[in-house]
Copies of this chain bind each other. A is one copy, B any other.
Amino acid sequence: MRTFLSSLFLILLSWTSFAQVDSSAIVASHRPDGLFSSTRGAVQNWFASTSPALKFDPSMNHEEFLDWQWKMQAAMASLMKHPCLERQEPKMVKSVQRDGYRVEKWESYPLPGSVVAFLVLVPDGVDASHPAEASFLCIPGFGQTKELVAGEKGGVYDLSAEPLENVPLSAMAKHYVEEGWVAVAVDNPSFGELADNGKSDYLNSSRILLEGGWSYLGYSSYCDKVVLDWMKTRPYLRNDRIVVSGFSLGTEPMMAIGLMDKDIYAFVYNDFLCNTRERILVMTKPDSKGERPFPNSIEHLIPEFLSYFDFPDIVAAFAPRPVICVEGGMDRDFNLIKKAYEIAGAPSAFTCYHYDKYADPSSRTYYDELPEGLDRTEYFELVNCDSPRHGFKKDYVLPWLRGLFPKKAQ
């Protein structure tokens, strides 16, 4: 009996040692009863036990799908908390001619006491009699400006500098205007002309918004919606052919206003498609200091957002409106979105490209659920994201758009 107990003890000891080594990357219980004694364990376990109320269910029929879309829209509106205000109309403050198009600087007044500027690129020859076939609301990424997106010189907010000679890939508005389309470029809050005394202040402004019961995304999507609504009133564009083009951080306000505004015709989704709930739960491997990473900063925090849905659900709810995703993600998520487009009767309206590195299906990973214990690099690998190649995917986006908006015979 003693031998048996000793063996059992040794087995338990070695199991415990093994578990302790192995468990550093995951949020593990160190108790025989499996209960979590750390707050992180308790919280991780709690969060994992919750489920988004409006998770897309691929078994829906068309009627249920329509009903679900309304619920998605209502939930997004309740999360974004856009205020209903009497607002001053946007005002043009400058216009300069560029090669083949003009750039106008406008000011909008989303909240009393403040101003948010944006740029409008209008091709030569486009006017009320010859409205643009397509127009774009271009929302840049973190650390990008409306000037970059428009191919203008960074930090010069009055359009007094020459435009950039070598057009950067990120200049999505410029790429669009060169196709003969109208393009509007906005800033994300807290950066560029919206910075605080020349310093980006994503964190402080986000925190104040959160303290007041709002959020960075609520505010940014509201500012973008103000510009979108103004776009619809322009005589030189077709207000039933407005596309929202979001890069990286800019995909978030794109998704928000995309659900809330059925007038938007199509979407350019230029980031990998992320399941953010899963990312939080699996990116648990401590760094060299022993700290677990959190995937992002509080400008991405929208309290209760993940109680309703996640990014793939939102894109699924865009069906049947045309969407192109150009930086891949997990086939698991894209298969759900494709199913949504089938239910909506428009299977060809959803297009997806992976990063070159993962273009070959055999180079991608296929998980139903990602394993816990990943660091950022491992996470990106498992979701087929070649993050060093993150950038505007002009070569996928422009041909797709030309297909959507074919040039008319002159």
Question: What is the interface of chain A, defined by CB distance below 8 A to chain B?
Answer: 24, 27, 31, 34-47, 49-50, 109-117, 189-190, 193-199, 201, 203-205, 207-213, 219, 277, 280, 286, 290-292, 294, 298, 301, 303-307
A201 near B40 with CB under 8 A, answer yes
Check if B208 sits within 8 Å of A114, measured CB to CB: no
A211 touches B305 (CB 8 A): yes
Q: Is the CB of A194 within 8 A of B38?
A: yes
Chain copies in complex: 2
Contact assessment for A213 and B44 in the assembled complex, using a CB-CB cutoff below 8 Å:
no
Given A113-B35, A211-B306: A40 and B205 interface contact (C-beta under 8 Å) = yes
Inter-chain contacts of A42 with B (CB < 8 A):
110-111, 113-114, 116, 189
Q: Which of B47, B117, B208 has a CB less than 8 Å from the CB of A208? A: B47
Report yes or no: A294 in contact with B204, Cβ–Cβ below 8 A: yes
Q: A38-B201, A207-B298 are in contact. List 14 more A-B contacts (CB 8 A).
A: A35-B114, A37-B117, A38-B195, A38-B196, A39-B189, A39-B219, A40-B201, A41-B114, A42-B113, A42-B189, A43-B208, A50-B212, A197-B290, A211-B306
Give Cα A303–Cα B43 distance, bound, in whole angstroms: 18
- Give the chain B neighbours of A294 by CB distance below 8 A: 203-204, 207
Nearest CB in chain B: distance from A338 CB, A: 27
Which residues of B lie under 8 Å from residue A298 when comparing CB positions? 207, 298
List 25 contacting pairs A-B, 8 Å CB cutoff, sorted by A: A24-B197, A35-B113, A37-B116, A38-B196, A38-B201, A39-B190, A39-B196, A40-B196, A40-B201, A40-B205, A42-B111, A43-B219, A45-B111, A47-B208, A47-B211, A49-B112, A50-B212, A197-B286, A207-B298, A207-B301, A208-B280, A210-B303, A212-B307, A213-B304, A213-B307
Q: Is the CB of B212 within 8 A of A46?
A: yes
| Residues of chain B contacted by A301 (CB below 8 angstroms) | 207, 210-211
